[in-house]
Chains A and B, each alone.
Chain A
Amino acid sequence: VTRPPRFAESLMERSLVATDRAVVLGDLHEEFQTHAARDGLRAARRWYWRQVLRSLPSNLRRAARHAIDARQTARPARRALRPRREVVMQDIRYAVRSLLATPTFTIVVLVVLALGIGATTAIFSVVDAVVLKGVPFPRGDRLVAVSEPSAKSPRRNAAVSAADFADLRARQSTFEDLAAVRGAGRGFTLRSGDLTESPLVMAVSASLLPVLRIAPALGRAFTADDEVPGHERVAILSDGFWRRRFGADRAILGRTLAFDTGSWTIVGVMPPSFTYPIALRAPVDVWVPFVPYPRDLVRGNVRNFTALVVGRLKPGVSIAQGRADLERITATIRQAYPTWLQDRSVAVVSLRDSIVGPAKPWMLMLLGSVTFVLLIACVNVANLLLARATARSRDVAVRAALGASRWTIVRGLLIESLILSAIGTALGVCLAVWGVHVLRASLPPSLPRLDEVAVNYRVLVAAACAALAVAVGVTPVWQSPASALSTSLNESGRSGTAGASGQRIRSVLLVAEVGLAMVLLVGAGLFISSFIRLTQVDLGFGLGNILSVTVSTGVDVPKERVAAESARVREAIAAAFEQVARIPAIEKAALVSGTQPLLLGSDRLTITVPGKPVFTDPDDYADYKYISPAYFDVLGVPLLAGRVLTDADAAPGAPRMVLLNDVARSRYFGGTDPIGASLLLSRLGSYTVAGVVRSVRLQGPEAELRPEVYLPLDLRQPLDNPLMTIVMRTSRDPASFASSVRAAMRSAAPGLVAPDPQTYFELFAKLVSQRRFNMIVLALFGLLAITIAGAGIYGVMACIVEQRTTEIGLRMALGAEPARVLRMVLGRASVYLAVGVAIGVSGGWMLARLVQAFLFKGDPHDPVVFGGAMAVLVAVGLIAAFVPARRAARVDPAVALRAQ
């Protein structure tokens, strides 16, 4: 038996009176079966929906009548006190009619409310999920991250050494326990047939799960026994990995994972939501016990600070007390090993801060901007409502004079405000849902907990309440007692213009709105100009028609087979490279050691020039790369002096030649000619300079130009970088050759694991994605602000013109030119604009410093940005005022005066 569409059915069920439900739904069900059998399911569903939609209005009428009947019979005594249904309906009808009679006002208010509520909710939902929520563990507020930051780079390398972790854990007295996590290292590749998979494996101390207070969903956690060397071959799987690889087989415990390093016994599976560490780009697949190598526990020359440490404070212990405790232990370590911690200290921060800390200022900036948008929206709605109220004060006064009670009048106006906020909120909800969807897709994926982002209904309710409060709060009769009504009647009757006090409030609101919009526009301008600067940075090489692919030369095999295996991989790379170079559309191809350009990471060495002063600063290093001869040709980097490297330079026994970039030349040789001079490269020995090439920003526009050395690549020799990149210049659109490159590589070297080739444009886009996102968001805010402010100026000026129609008509009857009337209205608007812009510029000037950290170079007080924002706002403001101004200039005096 086929079922009718569920949603339609439940819609019908809900709208029906209880006594009708079974019969009507039964009828529809029965007839649906007939239709389905005769015309097919699709037609039957369409038929069902048509029936439901046709019946809804009458159902609802019936339900309403029913409810009222029921209440009246149940509580006959209160009947007299309630406004009769017809009266309320009449109020609603009246309100709807009067809203429809002024479509501009209604549309502007609805758009402003929807934008305000929708944008605020969408942005705040993201901020809330990423920044404001706690960490997803029981009593997560008691968890802290312990690190040993280096004085030089406090953010990088803030991990703890295995030796210190052991001591801190053994001697501390303020924590329930400490736990350590680090990458499990190499050798965790699973091979089955042609498929190789490298799951993300983390080594964790047995204390981790107790510290986090999370238990495996299946099996057991690690115990101290698993941390004994020789017994550590046990593994816990993530839920995702368990489902993906083992089809959620519940009989998994005791089976083994056959890694290259040997087989590991599965002892547990974690619950679905669990991953640790949290803020990684990819969720962890497998956890294994953290068993430090004996050399890691010796505080010697190898400075291995690799463990991320998390601890749970004992009840009642503050973070500061925990920190003091660990600092005491660190002091004794420092005494025993004076050089070990010389440039490091111990830091204790809440786990939440350590995860979301880097993203926090950025999120708060977004939050600040969105608050401005909501403020502008609220000010705008308040202003429009006030303008409307003034326009209708006569109408209200007349009704009051004719005996309408104050409650009757207020009720009518309140219903109007309620209708506006209800529809505005509904539109805002749609916008919020859509906005969250868009934001999730376009946010930088490195943001923590992005997958938890969803529309936050509490925020939505709060924003809607704010809008409602504004809408209801400025309902005018609320503020003015009934006696004031007669004043308004007198006032407007006499002068034909609005009351002076109402106008003053409206002017202030309008100026505030312009000021706020100005601040947002300045923000948008700063981010846009920052992004433009970023894209205009000369990278030193072109992005066009270049394709690159990075392959790993690293091998996961036992030590005695490494040499043979890596030679085999290098042969495979050479073969793949030759095959790729033969593709007709590839004009030139080259090999370079390391990762692709535009990604971070480089190899470093120190350079000494015989006879020159030796640089002792440890930060003074040069990046180096092994390249094949065509490398600079592919990138289009010009040779500045000497010659490029050739295949002959890579031959065994050839003189050892290198290339420098011009930064390295000026750094190490000053003004002198380096060609033919010799250099001492640490680790690698002595080389002679063959030529100088132009410096490039291989790591993107934000990277500094650094000294670089290029050595000839010889694939017959072992390399010290596990990655090798093939770069190719294509004759046409590089993306279209990605598949042929992949095919060529596979045919020449089937065993080589390589990702898809990427174009430089793609890499560049990824590199600037965070800044692009910032720019787009701020630009959107600016656009929102200016749209709302423009709408506000238009709305208020239109109301002013409408109210002053009589006065304008009088002036024109007395001989004022239309042009003069136009000037008068525009002049009024310009005063508002000028004051608002002045306030906004000074506010923006102060706030600009706060966003400086998010800008790429450049002055946060860039006069071009401020000037541009001013020009845009004034232009939009004047255009918005021009429409009502022209209407004023066309007023026919006779008509205007007769209307009075």
Chain B
Amino acid sequence: MAPTPRDSLGEFEQLLLLAIVRLGDEAYGVTIRQEIAERTGRDVAIGQLYTSLDRLERKGFVRSGMSEPMPERGGRSRRHFRLKPAGVAALRQARERLARMWDGLSPDLRKVRP
């Protein structure tokens, strides 16, 4: 799996990247989880969160760095995440693909009979 920006993003990866974008400087484990939970109602297991973030980092979509140790974390550091240009490109591409697929359809899919 070469880290090319052409890799398509899974839904969960998109959620993660979007959360990081929204949070800006405040993007780290706790806030990312909260952001996703508040906006989508999805409670992400912490293990899953970091597995996926690590994968995104390997693909070159995000980078991360450690903060100073903080007392409210029991003297441990935060790992802050930030988007890299490839991540921005991947998000944009994903949105475009979806938008193309949605083109001409009404958002509530009224005509579809499941």
Contacts and interface: CB of A to CB of B under 8 A. Distances in A.
Contacts of B40: none
Contact of A27 (B29, B48, B51, B71): B29
A507 to B, nearest CB: 53
A1 interface: yes
A59 B46 CA distance: 9
B45 A24 contact: no
Contacts of A26: 29, 70, 73-74, 76-78
Contact of B45 (A1, A25, A58): A58
Secondary structure type dominating chain B contacts: helix
Nearest to B28: A27
B10 interface: no
A23 B50 contact: yes
A19 to B, nearest CB: 9
Nearest to A9: B74
B33 to A, nearest CB: 8
Contacts of A51: 45-46
29 contacts: A3-B74, A22-B76, A24-B29, A24-B47, A26-B29, A26-B73, A26-B74, A26-B76, A26-B77, A26-B78, A27-B28, A27-B30, A27-B33, A27-B46, A27-B78, A28-B46, A29-B72, A29-B76, A30-B70, A30-B72, A51-B45, A54-B45, A54-B46, A54-B47, A55-B46, A55-B47, A58-B45, A58-B48, A62-B47
B79 interface: yes
A31 interface: yes
Nearest to A16: B47
Interface of B: 28-30, 33, 45-48, 50-51, 66, 70-74, 76-79
Contacts of B28: 27
A312 B74 CA distance: 56
Nearest to B29: A27
Given A23-B29, A27-B28, A59 B73 contact: no
A603 interface: no
B80 to A, nearest CB: 10
Contacts of A59: 47
B72 A1 contact: yes
Contacts of B66: 23
Contact of B50 (A24, A29, A33, A54): A24
A445 B28 CA distance: 60
A31 B78 CA distance: 12
**Which of B28, B46, B71: most chain A Cβ within 10 A?**
B46
A24 B46 CA distance: 7
A62 B30 CA distance: 20
A215 B51 CA distance: 60
Contact of B30 (A31, A56, A58): A31
A677 B56 CA distance: 112
Contact of A23 (B33, B45, B51, B76): B76
B73 A30 contact: yes
Contact of B51 (A22, A28, A33, A62): A62
Interface in A48-99: 51, 54-59, 62
Nearest to B44: A54
Contact of B78 (A23, A55, A58, A62): A23
Given A23-B29, A27-B28, A58 B76 contact: no
Contacts of B45: 51, 54-55, 58
A2 to B, nearest CB: 11
Which 5 interchain pairs have the tightest Cβ spacing?
A26-B76, A55-B47, A27-B29, A26-B73, A58-B47
Contacts of B70: 26, 30
A20 interface: yes
B67 to A, nearest CB: 9
Nearest to A22: B76
A225 to B, nearest CB: 59
Interface in A804-862: none
Contacts of B30: 27, 30-31
Contacts of A30: 30, 70, 72-73
Contacts of A31: 30, 33
**Which of A24, A28, A30: most chain B Cβ within 10 A?**
A30
Contacts of B47: 24, 54-59, 62
A533 B46 CA distance: 66
A1 B51 CA distance: 29
